[in-house]
């Protein structure tokens, strides 16, 4: 990671980090060490070494376990791990970061009131404008999925304004993604995609690929929509986010069905159903909102 970063290739450095995460998760069932995470965050922000001021934001073991459970879709276990991490958090900044992650898990589950409570807690006392922008963008997406168009639009506008004032590329890529989704402006989605790719933010790049694919499908460009969805799906599999991987299989099935490729569509639909049935952390319990994930 350091070699790539010092050579000016942040994308390769962050790709190396995600590969580290994937292998550790697959082979040992653990997350990267706090020092590795801090290095990745520093590179993501444009540096090559973590600053001394960021040592307090290193993830605890409980938080790292929560991250793994979130990617696997074990949401009840993720919530329990994050709540333990929040109890042990050393600073308000650390607690705010964990509140943001708790909000994300409740958002994924469709627990809208709980998600909103945690988004508010994450923003409380948060003076980092870039982080405020990212939290606000996520809250906007939750409001959109809940069907609250007015609030979603207002929050998206706030997130975009904050990201631009902060001059933070990661926050801007995330805010452009939700703003483009809500407005139907493909240029914003394309800008989010290009920016996320340049800085190595794979999660936002996957989201922008998916949302741009859906926008292209609505305009009739089914071929390009399938290409982008396949690209997003390949990246999501590497990242290891099973819930969003399931959503992409489902979206791809819809696109292939519209294109008349019924056999391929059914294969993708079966893959989606299998993954969706494993996500949520409550075995045997049907969770409609988990299955409704289409855009993010």
Q: From CA 13, how far away is CA 43, in angstroms rounded?
A: 8
- Is the pLDDT at 57 greater than 80? The verdict is no
Number of helical H runs and strand E runs in the chain: 16, 0
Q: Does residue 202 contact residue 174 with C-beta atoms inside 8 Å? A: no
- Is the pLDDT at 55 greater than 60? The verdict is no
Q: What is the pLDDT of residues 223-254, one digit of tens each?
A: 999 999 999 999 998 888 999 999 999 999 99
CATH of 59-127, one of 2.30.110.10, 2.40.50.100, 3.30.9.90, 1.25.40.10: 1.25.40.10
- Is 203-281 in the same CATH topology as 59-127? yes
Q: What is the percent of the chain with per-residue pLDDT over 70, rounded to a whole number?
A: 94
Please tell us whether the domain made up of 203-281 is placed in CATH 1.20.1630.10: no
- Is the pLDDT at 2 greater than 90? The verdict is no
In the chain, where the domains are located: 1-56, 59-127, 203-281
Average of pLDDT values for 35-56? Answer: 67
- Is the pLDDT at 182 greater than 70? The verdict is yes
Q: From CA 241, how far away is CA 88, in angstroms rounded?
A: 26
- pLDDT at 98 (0 to 100): 95
DSSP, res 216 = H
Query: What's the mean pLDDT when you consider all of the chain?
Result: 90
């Amino acid at each position: 990671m350091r070699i790539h970063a010092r050579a000016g290739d942040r994308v390769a450095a962050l790709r190396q980090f995600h590969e580290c995460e994937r292998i550790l998760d697959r082979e040992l069932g653990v997350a990267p060490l706090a020092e590795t995470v801090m290095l990745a965050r520093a590179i993501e922000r444009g540096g090559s070494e973590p600053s001394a001021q960021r040592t307090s934001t290193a993830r605890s073991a409980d938080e790292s376990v929560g991250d793994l459970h979130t990617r696997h879709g074990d949401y009840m276990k993720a919530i329990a791990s994050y709540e333990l991490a929040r109890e042990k958090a050393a600073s308000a900044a650390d607690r705010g970061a964990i509140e943001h992650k708790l909000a994300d898990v409740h958002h994924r589950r469709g627990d809208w009131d709980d998600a909103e409570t945690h988004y508010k807690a994450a923003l409380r006392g948060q003076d980092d404008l870039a982080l405020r922008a990212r939290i606000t963008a996520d809250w906007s997406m939750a409001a959109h999925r809940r069907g609250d168009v007015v609030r979603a639009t207002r929050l998206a506008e706030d997130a975009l304004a904050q990201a631009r004032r902060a001059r933070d590329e990661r926050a801007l890529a995330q805010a452009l993604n939700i703003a483009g989704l809500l407005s139907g402006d493909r240029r914003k989605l394309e800008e989010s995609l290009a920016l996320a790719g340049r800085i190595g933010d794979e999660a936002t790049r996957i989201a922008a690929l998916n949302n741009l694919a859906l926008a292209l499908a609505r305009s009739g460009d089914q071929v390009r929509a399938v290409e982008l969805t396949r690209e997003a799906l390949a990246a999501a599999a590497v990242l290891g986010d099973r819930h969003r991987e399931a959503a992409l299989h489902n979206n791809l099935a819809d696109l292939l069905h519209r294109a008349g490729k019924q056999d391929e569509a059914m294969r993708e639909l079966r893959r989606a159903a299998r993954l969706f049935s494993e996500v949520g952390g409550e075995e045997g319990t049907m969770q409609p909102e988990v299955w409704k994930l289409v855009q993010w």
